Amino acid sequence: MTTSRRPAPAASPVPAFAADPHHVTDHLLVGGVRKSFGGTEVLKGVDLTVAQGRTTAIVGASGSGKTTLLRVIAGFEAPDAGSVCLGGVQVAGPSGWLPAHRRSVGYVAQDGALFPHLTVGQNIEFGLPVRGRTAAPRVAELLEMVSMDPAYARRKPSQLSGGQQQRVALARALARQPQLMLLDEPFSALDAGLRVATRRAVSKTLSDAGVTTILVTHDQAEALSFADQVAVMRDGRLAQIGSPFVVYTRPTDRATAEFLGDAVILEAWMEGSLALCSLGGIPVRRPPVQGRVHLMLRPEQIRIAEGGNIRGRVVDTDYFGPETTVRIQLAPIVVDPAGPVDPHQPVGGEVISIRHWNAMLARPGTELSLKVVGEGVVFPWDG
């Protein structure tokens, strides 16, 4: 997130027009959007579709272009190329431009950006058609929606914590009853417990109201739990778009796999639909290549199991309360010296990380047997 961003000039007075009628259930269509700042291309051709009333999380490393994309959708920046359609109307692009205030879009910035001279109540009223006493019940309702006591309405933003300010910013955005809500890391200032509770409350409020929502976040777990669809942004492009389950279990490349959570990555030899590696033959659905590959499994797919046919020894552990990360060195694979020589035979010995609930079970040096559940994903070998 950068701080000094000026609103985009109205690109042209050309009126917005109705787009392709086949896309009526798609609330938001972003097509081929490019945006540069001072010769640096920040968005390099972004395509994104969000269905009416659904929630998309855009996740990606700092500086990958998430906020810029949100600002283009909101109308605070004009794209250099490509288009944005909202509810079948082109609001940015070669054939139309609608300024931000006419897009029925709510936007909650990373820093909340409340008006410091107004009270909390007046900040929220800003989005309401009524003011003062008439607005009070609705202000109270909106504060409750973001888990705040209505008594806060009389305070100034400077008398609130960062997390409370963020929740007031959400309430102010909700007051306008936008059809599309853009949330730029709105929960990042909240502590862990409040963060989960506020996220649930906001998600429920928005989905009950049928508001299409886009959430930008750094937090992979937040993206996976909040959204119907996750879009992974990397270096100005969306590297993968899919359901949380699909992007987590079937990432399209190694960088996406590692960004979305812990991954066990092993050298393997792909033969048909089996990846042969130090963990045995792991089934892979629709492998993109044969031969030498990187195999990816999630740590929770590797279980400590009595009688499991993979042997390993605990190297060390990291205790996290409900679970412990256990680093295990896989046993070297013993090859029959009298048997045929197979150059693709795995050799074992790699160190992998798995998770286990019982920290006591996994003291360093303990010998364990393991088994793998489910399928792996493979990526072409890149050395």
Ligand X SMILES: Nc1ncnc2c1ncn2[C@@H]1O[C@H](COP(=O)(O)OP(=O)(O)OP(=O)(O)O)[C@@H](O)[C@H]1O
Catalog residues that contact ligand X under the rule CB under 6 A.
1-2, 5, 37-38, 42, 60, 62-68, 218
Give the residue with the Cβ less far from ligand X, 235 or 350: 235
Contacts of 114 (CB under 8 A, 6+ apart): 120, 123, 157, 165, 168, 169, 172
Give the residue with the Cβ less far from ligand X, 68 or 240: 68
Least distance between ligand X and beta carbon 233 (Å): 7
Give the residue with the Cβ less far from ligand X, 1 or 11: 1
Amino acid at 363: R
Amino acid at 46: V
Least distance between ligand X and beta carbon 350 (Å): 33
Give the residue with the Cβ less far from ligand X, 72 or 304: 72
Give the residue with the Cβ less far from ligand X, 155 or 218: 218
Give the residue with the Cβ less far from ligand X, 60 or 127: 60
Least distance between ligand X and beta carbon 3 (Å): 9
SS (H, E, C) the chain: CCCCCCCCCCCCCCCCCECCHHHCCEEEEEEEEEEEECCEEEEEEEEEEEECCCEEEEEECCCCCHHHHHHHHHCCCCCCEEEEEECCEEEEECCEECCHHHCCEEEECCCCCCCCCCCHHHHHHCCCCCCHHHHHHHHHHHHHHCCCCHHHHHCCHHHCCHHHHHHHHHHHHHHCCCCEEEEECCCCCCCHHHHHHHHHHHHHHHHHCCCEEEEEECCHHHHHHHCCEEEEEECCEEEEEECHHHHHHCCCCHHHHHHCCCCEEEEEEEECCEEEECCEEEEECCCCCCEEEEEEECHHHEEECCCCCEEEEEEEEEECCCCEEEEEEECCCCCCCCCCCCCCCCCCCCEEEEEECCHHHHCCCCEEEEEECCCEEEEECCC
Least distance between ligand X and beta carbon 195 (Å): 17
Amino acid at 287: P
Least distance between ligand X and beta carbon 245 (Å): 24
Least distance between ligand X and beta carbon 68 (Å): 3
Least distance between ligand X and beta carbon 321 (Å): 28
Report the distance separating Cα 23 and Cα 132, nearest Å: 41
Give the residue with the Cβ less far from ligand X, 19 or 169: 169
Least distance between ligand X and beta carbon 57 (Å): 13
Give the residue with the Cβ less far from ligand X, 63 or 283: 63
Least distance between ligand X and beta carbon 69 (Å): 7
Give the residue with the Cβ less far from ligand X, 1 or 201: 1
